[in-house]
Amino acid sequence: MAAIRNFEEIQAWQKARYLTKNLYKATATGDFAKDFGLRDQIRRASVSIMANIAEGFGRHSDKEVANFLNIAHASACEVQSHLYVALDLEYINQENFEIFYKMLNEISRMIYAFAQHLRNS
């Protein structure tokens, strides 16, 4: 991790930030905006991805960083699960579901690879 000077340089964090911004927009209108429980939960889980990457970066050992990356990965899975509810309730359409889901898959792969790298070093 010596090459990374701050968490903002971590690509997974950058992509999670972009995802979070767009999820906030998607949940701010229509029936999604009125479903306070689901709206707030998907937003919190999305923010958790970013926050755990950042918090992990602030830790003192690669093992601790990897543990926080695991939590970020779990939050990405949580968001994916919430997307199914949003799709089933027709808060989002199939196209938006697939866009968000693919972004989360990419973020998850990046997080997992980073955690594996840290564990193996």
pLDDT tens profile 5-24 = 899 999 999 999 999 999 99
Query: Rounded to whole angstroms, how far apart are CA atoms 86 and 89?
Result: 5
DSSP state of 61: S
Q: What are the domain boundaries of the chain?
A: 8-120
How confident is residue 1, by pLDDT bands cut at 50, 70 and 90? very low
pLDDT for res 2: 54
Stretch 53-82: mean pLDDT, rounded? 95
> 88 pLDDT exceeds 50?
yes
Average pLDDT, the chain: 95
How far, in Å, are 31, 36, 61, 81 from residue 77 at the CA level? 23, 20, 25, 6
The burial class, CB within 10 Å (0-12 / 13-18 / 19+), for 9 is exposed
Stretch 76-97: mean pLDDT, rounded? 98
Stretch 49-63: mean pLDDT, rounded? 93
- Encoded tokens for 86: 């949003």
Q: 63-77 burial by CB neighbour count: b if 16+ within 10 A, else e?
A: eebbbbbebbbebbe
pTM flag (> 0.85): yes
Stretch 40-48: mean pLDDT, rounded? 98
Query: Rounded to whole angstroms, how far apart are CA atoms 119 and 26?
Result: 36
Query: Rounded to whole angstroms, how far apart are CA atoms 86 and 91?
Result: 5
Instruction: Please give the CATH topology (third level) of the domain spanning 8-120.
Output: de novo design (two linked rop proteins) (1.20.1440)
How confident is residue 97, by pLDDT bands cut at 50, 70 and 90? very high
Cβ atoms of 95 and 64 within 8 Å: the answer is no
